[in-house]
Amino acid sequence: MTGTLIVLGTAQDGGNPQLGSRGRGRPRLVSSLAVVMDDGTTLLADCTPDVKAQIAHLEAGAPYRSRTAGNAVDHITLTHAHMGHYTGLVQFGKEAHNAKSLPTWVSPSMAGYLRANQPWRALIDDGHLDIRSGFGPFEVGPGLGLRLVPVPHRGEFTDTVGISVNDDVLFLPDIDSWDQWPSAEEEIARHRVSFLDASFFSLDEIPGRDLSQIPHPLVADTVERFGHLAAERRLILTHLNHSNPVAEPDSPQAQAVREAGFEVAEDFMSIRLAG
Ligand SMILES: [Zn+2]
Ligand SMILES: [Zn+2]
């Protein structure tokens, strides 16, 4: 069995626009993916502050419907504990959706953080989330495998992983630098499709903020390093900060990225998984 990957959001943690900003290009939800298998089993990769709108989109797009246990989705996996990537979990507790034993596939560090801190701890203690911790590979369901790939990223709360689905699609929304991750090229090369952190295009993008405090590879660096892989694979830029000019399809920066063989992710684009 195979399935379809649906991009549920493509913005950095605060969305586009962020609170109090005008943003660039059209509005974007916070970066997240869903994998909908052909039997309806649905995995949510990262659980964002926009999760209600994102799941509403899945439910509106039948046959993208979850089938088990009355849960809105059947499985969740998370990259790390920065606000854009997991705080949507509050919607799965008893005040809201009241999920039942929802399998939640996370690294040991992320599992420890959720077990140790409220309100996440209550979601586990009250049986809403069923934590499955490790790095895999996990056999999540028929035809659906996961591998959590540790990557370097600011670790105030937890470590950070990229998410590999069936060794076919790699979701890598946050990383500090390619230099700090020696197996970056090897991992990207082994996937047919990779979604890559493209938070910032240039260092002077946010007046008054020191971007060295929030390190990410700049888009030009990513394009230069991995451009030679683009002919054989889909390399898709995501997790765009609200200031990033590639968010505007007609900008020179977006055109340059496309000419180098990369794509810019768009909310609700879909990709068929390899069979
Ligand atoms: Zn992020
Ligand atoms: Zn982060």
Q: How many angstroms does the Cα of residue 1 sit away from the middle of ligand 1?
A: 31
Return the pLDDT at 70.
Answer: 79
Calculate how far, in angstroms, residue 80's C-alpha sits from the geometric centre of ligand 1.
8
pTM for this prediction: 0.96
* Mean pLDDT, residues 189-198: 98
Strands (E), the chain: 3-9, 32-37, 42-45, 75-77, 102-106, 129-133, 138-141, 144-151, 160-165, 169-172, 193-197, 234-238, 263-264, 270-272
Instruction: Return the pLDDT at 261.
Output: 98
CA 186/CA 100 separation, integer angstroms: 38
pLDDT digits (tens, 9 = 90+) for 228-257: 999 999 999 999 999 999 999 999 999 999
The whole-number pLDDT of residue 207 equals 72
Average pLDDT value for residue range 99-110? 97
Q: How many domains does the chain have?
A: 1
- One-letter amino acid of 150: P
Q: In the predicted model, what is the mean pLDDT of the chain?
A: 94
Which carries the bigger pLDDT value, residue 66 or residue 126?
126
The 10s digit of each residue's pLDDT in 58-68 is 888 755 555 55
Query: 147 by DSSP, 3-state: which?
Result: strand
Domain harbouring 75, CATH code: 3.60.15.10
**190 C-beta neighbours (distance < 10 Å), count:** 14
pLDDT tens digit sequence for 208-234: 777 677 788 999 999 999 999 999 999
- % of the chain beyond a pLDDT of 90: 86
The rounded Å distance from CA 172 to ligand 2 centre is 10
Backbone φ, ψ for residue 247 (5° rounding): -70, -15
Q: Which residue range is the domain that position 216 belongs to? A: 3-272
Per-residue model confidence (pLDDT) at position 275:
81
Rounded to the nearest angstrom, the distance between the alpha carbon of 197 and the centre of ligand 1 is 9
| CA 175 – ligand 1 centroid, Å | 9
DSSP-derived 3-state class of residue 68: coil
| Ligand 1 centroid, distance to 12 Cα (angstroms) | 5
